[in-house]
Structure 1
Amino acid sequence: MDKLFIFDTTLRDGEQVPGCQLNTIEKIEVAKALEALGVDVIEAGFPVSSPGDFNSVVEISKAVTWPTICALTRAVEKDIEVAAEALKYAKKKRIHTGIGTSEYHIKHKFNSNQDEIIERAVKAVKYAKRFVEDIEFYAEDAGRTDNEYLARVVQAVVKAGATVVNIPDTTGYCLPTEYGAKIKYLIENVDMGNAILSTHCHQDLGMATANSMMGVLNGARQVEVTINGIGERAGNTSLEEVVMAIKSHKELNIETNINTQKIYPVSRMISSLMNMPIQPNKAIVGRNAFAHSSGIHQDGVLKNLSTYEIIDPKDVGIDDNAIVLTARSGRAALKNRLNILGIEVDDEELTDIYQRFLDLADKKKDIADEDLLILAGKETNNIHRIKLDYLQVTSGTGGVRRVANVGIDIAGDKFDAASSGNGPVDAAISAVWQVICNNTTVKDGETEIKEFLIQAINKGSNDVGKVHMQVEHRGQIYYGFAAHTDIVVASAEAFINAVNKFVK
């Protein structure tokens, strides 16, 4: 099997997204997660750009054991010196230097000419070689660079000592066939020696993964990617998409070092740390990536997963697919969900329940388990065992503590509690959780809120807000919903709605 090296630039190119900056401790946490994932190269930052970036590269170099730590530079001696200093603690180190090679860059950015650019490129590689052995050269905007001239650049930097040559589609301009042909041209017209070509594609036209895969199919043996495809403008090539494309197509005879079962947890971690929500229909890691709502699809999946799934959700760290009940769902999906809830029905009962289910699904967007229990005529008192009696919060600025007082009814018994938090919602949920832990079999530390979404139902200052909450309890996911004109009350009730589904 051919080895494909995974070069992750989440901490450099990915972190360039406005509002997504991480501190050094968070970057170390991400780097350790990438190491556990099996990434070969971690681009830890651009050391000369700021003291913070320099320090992050230093600390990541200390914290990470086996992956290569890479630092970005321009083709400037000072940049290279600073990068080498930042990498001094790395067990395996790489300097990533380069310069623009397209006519757009040569004329408008550098006011230079092709020969001078090659001279600067060679000089940068040779200078970097004084500090570390592993040198990667990037030909910025290679996607819009003439192939014949690009081959001259690549040949020159390989001869100067580059071990990897990065061919970036910096602006996301290339079509997949065009990018693949560019890599093929370089493989056929450059004596690469022991050096390899790398892809680095952007998503401006939505073709980053397709371009990267065409690069690999035509001889590139490193791909530069980010978790969730985050990055400048429309983003970078998504790690999870390339890795799972390679894994799914065994006929390519290519392998990576990635532990794919860690993809989903790392994806969620990056999303949380960078405050970058993942679009529901995002390939591999989106909330709907393994969700089926069409009746035809649901029936097929229930009979055999391979009918509509090319990837086992467990292979990327997701417990199972989701059969989402909507007005488009069929009898098979409804019966399957009833069976999961412990309800066995015959064909005649199913026909009756299914007709009432369709009537409800036409009126209600989300069909919850308690809805199905009601349709099936089962007792649901336990689902509403915990109720919110009252909620009072104190919030504000200027040193005011955020405190919540709650009254909770648990199966007829009344309890109250007070708690503080970093905001009114946090304080309210903390107070509710305090009552539940003290008066039920649920223990603290077993439960975590995984997702929290607020949606306005109508317009104006008297909006009704709907809260959707995803709560994990002992490894199982439960959903809570509530709506109220007071979003703090809606949040507390959504949490209680979820907890009611697992509390004893």
Structure 2
Amino acid sequence: MSDRLFIFDTTLRDGEQVPGCQLNTIEKIQVAKALEALGVDVIEAGFPISSPGDFNSVIEISKAVTWPTICALTRAVEKDIDVAVESLKYAKRKRIHTGIGTSDSHIKYKFNSNREEIIERAVAAVKYARRFVDDVEFYAEDAGRTDNEYLARVIEAVIKAGATVVNIPDTTGYCLPSEYGAKIKYLVDHVDGIDRAIISTHCHNDLGMATANTISGVLNGARQVEVTINGIGERAGNTALEEITMILKSHHDIQIDTNINTQKIYPISRMVSSLMNMPVQANKAIVGRNAFAHSSGIHQDGVLKNMETYEIINPKDVGIDDNSIVLTARSGRAALKHRFSSLGVELTQEKLDKVYEEFLKLADRKKDIHDDDILVLAGAERTLNHRIKLEHLQVTSGVGVRAVASIGLNVSGEKFEGTASGNGPVDAAIKALKKIIDRKMILKEFTIQAISRGSDDVGKVHMQVEYDGQVYYGFGANTDIVAASVEAYIDCINKFANKD
């Protein structure tokens, strides 16, 4: 008989802490519903006391989903817990996730405290949370660098106080898989009452070992894993849900099951990538563009003879259909809607009509329309209500010729034009833009990514622009990389212009 592993998804909390990847409440609900369909057991919906937006998102997600447990994060502070309780009032199944740092570094420098006082604060927080909910998870922040003997004392104390789940985070991604697995095993062997709580893993990928550490934790007794879609998260990210799920599905000898419908992995991966404007690297395990691509002649020959020669996973098991409908300029709305639906995106008829017009324009410019192109079109729909829009852009450049750009903007219905020269077409276009939008703005980061192959690719541009001491994140996509760059800059401007 197989063991059951609970999947705790923190895409909407830890994953959303990535700079520039914040979602609005409607987008969070869309992801939460997709997570429910995927089969996750717990959705960490936010950190309610951190902002009114997070508080409201936890409320609305609680209303929108039915069977997964909705979890709200807190510090070991009564006010945090009170706010979390209020945010969870509509949840059918609710959990409070509270905790405190336990490493000597955190105790000394973060809390200016001592080990005994930290245990007292941990116990008090768990007891207080249990007054409101039956399901309380305790996290021992920086457990990866916490002495095992002391960590065991903390975990034993919070279980006695009523914790139903104990989270052992490798907060800094420091542990080796052997160290992390041994830490979980130590708790299993030395904590009185450990059988009354579920041990959870929460691993970060700073040294590229999040998945390995998580699997090591599971093999040594953890029965909940805290993961994100595409492995997104602070710094180098979190353990990827799709990697853990497919490792267990592929290694039948482990005999640990999840509730995940693996055929929905690829659609939700693309949905999260699109909504958060965060590209999935081409060689990303399971969901990357090249995950099932074979360029070596020897590999191609082997796969054609028998897929198992070089593929341990059937692409269809993760929702990649090799026989999907090919989209061209002659495709109708029904085909486009079908492709969106297969990617986890549902559009109203009005939005579909608008996106379809943009699809036809793109199809005229591109030979092949890829899933990422389709998701870019869906994301572009969100810019329709921007206060500042690009009307036209013309750039002249060449070898030995200084680039000159002419740009036209629509600012709240009023037309403006600007012209400037620069060191290349992008520089000239942005200088022309800044002549119209006369603000002191500093370009902090500029990243270009082609999302498919060929000279007619759609290029995605990510920008960070500093204005009035704040950094704003923008995104643009176009087959013309200069236009995509200008669109990304305008996206940044719209975010602070709406605050003026």
Rounded Cα–Cα distance in structure 2 between residues aligned with 1:141 and 1:301: 44
1:435: Cα distance to partner? 9.3
> How do 1:130-145 residues align onto structure 2 when only pairs under 5 Å count?
130-145=131-146
1:302 aligns with 2:304: yes
Which of 456, 460, 468 pairs up with 1:482? 456
Deviations 1:133-163 (A, max 9, x none): 0000000000000000000000000000000
1:448: Cα distance to partner? 7.2
TM-score by length of 1: 0.68
In structure 2, what is the equivalent of residue 120 of structure 1?
Answer: 121
1:427: Cα distance to partner? 11
Rounded Cα–Cα distance in structure 1 between residues aligned with 2:153 and 2:450: 56
In structure 2, what is the equivalent of residue 218 of structure 1?
Answer: 220
- The alpha-carbon distance between structure 1 residues 488 and 59, as it changes in their structure 2 partners (threshold 3 A), is closer
- The alpha-carbon distance between structure 1 residues 488 and 150, as it changes in their structure 2 partners (threshold 3 A), is closer
Rounded Cα–Cα distance in structure 2 between residues aligned with 1:257 and 1:188: 28
- The alpha-carbon distance between structure 1 residues 93 and 277, as it changes in their structure 2 partners (threshold 3 A), is same
In structure 1, what is the equivalent of residue 40 of structure 2?
Answer: 39
1:178 aligns with 2:179: yes
In structure 2, what is the equivalent of residue 26 of structure 1?
Answer: 27
> How do 1:317-396 residues align onto structure 2 when only pairs under 5 Å count?
317-320=319-322
- The alpha-carbon distance between structure 1 residues 74 and 483, as it changes in their structure 2 partners (threshold 3 A), is closer
Asked if structure 2 preserves the Cα contact closer than 8 Å seen for 1:47 and 1:54, the reply is yes
In structure 2, what is the equivalent of residue 63 of structure 1?
Answer: 64
Q: Secondary structure at the match of 2:226?
A: strand
1:461: Cα distance to partner? 1.9
**Number of residue pairs matched?**
371
Q: Secondary structure at the match of 1:291?
A: coil
Residue identity in the other structure for 2:245: V
Task: Using the aligned pairs only, state the percent identity.
Answer: 75
In structure 2, what is the equivalent of residue 107 of structure 1?
Answer: 108
Asked if structure 2 preserves the Cα contact closer than 8 Å seen for 1:121 and 1:157, the reply is yes
1:467: Cα distance to partner? 10
TM-score by length of 2: 0.69
1:320: Cα distance to partner? 3.1
Deviations 1:391-434 (A, max 9, x none): xxxxxxxxxxxxxxxxxxxxxxxxxxxxxx9xxxx999467479
In structure 2, what is the equivalent of residue 366 of structure 1?
Answer: none
Residue identity in the other structure for 1:461: G
1:450: Cα distance to partner? 4.2
Deviations 1:91-121 (A, max 9, x none): 0000000000000000000010000000000
- The alpha-carbon distance between structure 1 residues 467 and 32, as it changes in their structure 2 partners (threshold 3 A), is closer
Rounded Cα–Cα distance in structure 1 between residues aligned with 2:55 and 2:286: 33
Asked if structure 2 preserves the Cα contact closer than 8 Å seen for 1:451 and 1:469, the reply is no
Q: Secondary structure at the match of 2:96?
A: strand
Asked if structure 2 preserves the Cα contact closer than 8 Å seen for 1:468 and 1:480, the reply is no
Rounded Cα–Cα distance in structure 1 between residues aligned with 2:109 and 2:362: 60
Rounded Cα–Cα distance in structure 2 between residues aligned with 1:46 and 1:447: 31
Residue identity in the other structure for 1:482: D
Runs of 4+ in 1 over 4 A off after TM superposition: 426-431, 433-436, 457-460, 466-470, 487-491
Asked if structure 2 preserves the Cα contact closer than 8 Å seen for 1:467 and 1:490, the reply is no
- The alpha-carbon distance between structure 1 residues 110 and 468, as it changes in their structure 2 partners (threshold 3 A), is closer
Rounded Cα–Cα distance in structure 2 between residues aligned with 1:75 and 1:489: 50
In structure 2, what is the equivalent of residue 289 of structure 1?
Answer: 291
1:200 aligns with 2:202: yes
1:169 aligns with 2:94: no
- The alpha-carbon distance between structure 1 residues 433 and 5, as it changes in their structure 2 partners (threshold 3 A), is closer
Greater C-alpha Rg:
1
Deviations 1:189-247 (A, max 9, x none): 01213211000000000000000000000000000000000000000000000000011
Rounded Cα–Cα distance in structure 1 between residues aligned with 2:271 and 2:74: 28
Rounded Cα–Cα distance in structure 1 between residues aligned with 2:117 and 2:140: 14
1:127: Cα distance to partner? 0.2
In structure 2, what is the equivalent of residue 11 of structure 1?
Answer: 12
Tell me the C-alpha RMSD between the 2 structures: 3.4
Residue identity in the other structure for 2:456: A
1:449 aligns with 2:450: no
1:461 aligns with 2:424: yes
In structure 2, what is the equivalent of residue 356 of structure 1?
Answer: none
Q: Secondary structure at the match of 1:449?
A: helix
Rounded Cα–Cα distance in structure 2 between residues aligned with 1:483 and 1:254: 42
Rounded Cα–Cα distance in structure 2 between residues aligned with 1:85 and 1:13: 21
1:98 aligns with 2:99: yes
In structure 1, what is the equivalent of residue 262 of structure 2?
Answer: 260
Which runs of no fewer than 5 residues in structure 2 stay unpaired?
331-350, 366-370, 378-397, 404-422, 427-447, 459-476, 482-500
Q: Secondary structure at the match of 1:165?
A: strand
Q: Secondary structure at the match of 1:168?
A: strand
In structure 1, what is the equivalent of residue 188 of structure 2?
Answer: 187
Q: Secondary structure at the match of 2:186?
A: helix
- The alpha-carbon distance between structure 1 residues 469 and 127, as it changes in their structure 2 partners (threshold 3 A), is closer
Q: Secondary structure at the match of 1:278?
A: coil
Residue identity in the other structure for 1:176: P
Q: Secondary structure at the match of 1:193?
A: helix
In structure 1, what is the equivalent of residue 414 of structure 2?
Answer: none
Rounded Cα–Cα distance in structure 2 between residues aligned with 1:232 and 1:76: 23
Q: Secondary structure at the match of 2:213?
A: helix
Which of 236, 239, 249 pairs up with 1:237? 239
Rounded Cα–Cα distance in structure 2 between residues aligned with 1:112 and 1:260: 45
Rounded Cα–Cα distance in structure 1 between residues aligned with 2:251 and 2:457: 45
Q: Secondary structure at the match of 1:11?
A: coil
Residue identity in the other structure for 2:244: V
Asked if structure 1 preserves the Cα contact closer than 8 Å seen for 2:184 and 2:222, the reply is yes
1:449: Cα distance to partner? 2.5
Asked if structure 2 preserves the Cα contact closer than 8 Å seen for 1:469 and 1:480, the reply is no
In structure 1, what is the equivalent of residue 463 of structure 2?
Answer: none
Rounded Cα–Cα distance in structure 2 between residues aligned with 1:321 and 1:249: 27
In structure 2, what is the equivalent of residue 344 of structure 1?
Answer: none
Which runs of no fewer than 5 residues in structure 1 stay unpaired?
323-382, 386-420, 437-445, 471-478, 492-504
1:319: Cα distance to partner? 1.2
